[in-house]
A and B are shown apart, each in its own frame.
Chain A
Amino acid sequence: QKEVEQDPGPLSVPEGAIVSLNCTYSNSAFQYFMWYRQYSRKGPELLMYTYSSGNKEDGRFTAQVDKSSKYISLFIRDSQPSDSATYLCAAGFNYGQNFVFGPGTRLSVLP
């Protein structure tokens, strides 16, 4: 079993839809969780990070961590064509140490 699993997609949604992206992880000791967005031919850029369980909101993006089920989610409200990218989740023990990345979900938001 991989440490962080993620449905690779592709996922296509119409503009304005609510998008739900999900990851599961296997190591219950993970405490830090991140979501990155990667446009084609670019490096990943950090969208959100969370510590332990709970929700975190930033504009149209909400990150959610459920440590009891080892499940992390990213919700995108009012999705835009500019949100079309690959979204990578990552989990780790401590900031500054090796984070384990999921393979990414490719999202297309259709105008």
Chain B
Amino acid sequence: SAVISQKPSRDICQRGTSLTIQCQVDSQVTMMFWYRQQPGQSLTLIATANQGSEATYESGFVIDKFPISRPNLTFSTLTVSNMSPEDSSIYLCSVESQDNYGYTFGSGTRLTVV
């Protein structure tokens, strides 16, 4: 399975600022996925990032708030913009596994907005 390096692992940010989360995969992948995991709640898909095209956002998530870059087949970033305490959550990137029909996740970024 692919190995995903995600950073930062955690951060505490001031409201109104932005944080960019990076996701590096050790192999080329077509699609990369960004999820949010709020305490006690389900993993929620934010958007799907394809190389060379605009990311596809799920209902309730917009590009102005969560801009995504996908410059090549091994890397993606998610920015959480103009943060508020409600954005405090764990953010995870994910790719399709090549060998087991599942998905491989990064270790997550634990974001606290104060």
Interface residues of A (CB under 8 A from B): 2, 4, 8, 32, 34, 36, 41-46, 49, 88, 90, 95-96, 98-104
Contacts and interface: CB of A to CB of B under 8 A. Distances in A.
Interface of B: 4, 6, 9, 31, 40-45, 48, 58, 92, 94, 96-97, 100-108, 110
27 contacts: A4-B42, A32-B101, A34-B103, A36-B102, A41-B107, A42-B107, A42-B108, A43-B6, A43-B92, A43-B94, A43-B105, A44-B43, A44-B92, A46-B100, A46-B102, A46-B104, A49-B100, A49-B101, A88-B42, A90-B43, A95-B96, A96-B96, A98-B48, A98-B58, A101-B44, A103-B40, A103-B42
Nearest to A50: B101
Contacts of B101: 32, 49, 95
Nearest to B96: A96
Nearest to B10: A41
A104 to B, nearest CB: 8
Contact of B41 (A42, A43, A100, A103): A103
B103 A46 contact: yes
B109 to A, nearest CB: 10
Contacts of A46: 97, 100, 102-104
A49 B96 CA distance: 13
Contact of B42 (A34, A42, A49, A100): A100
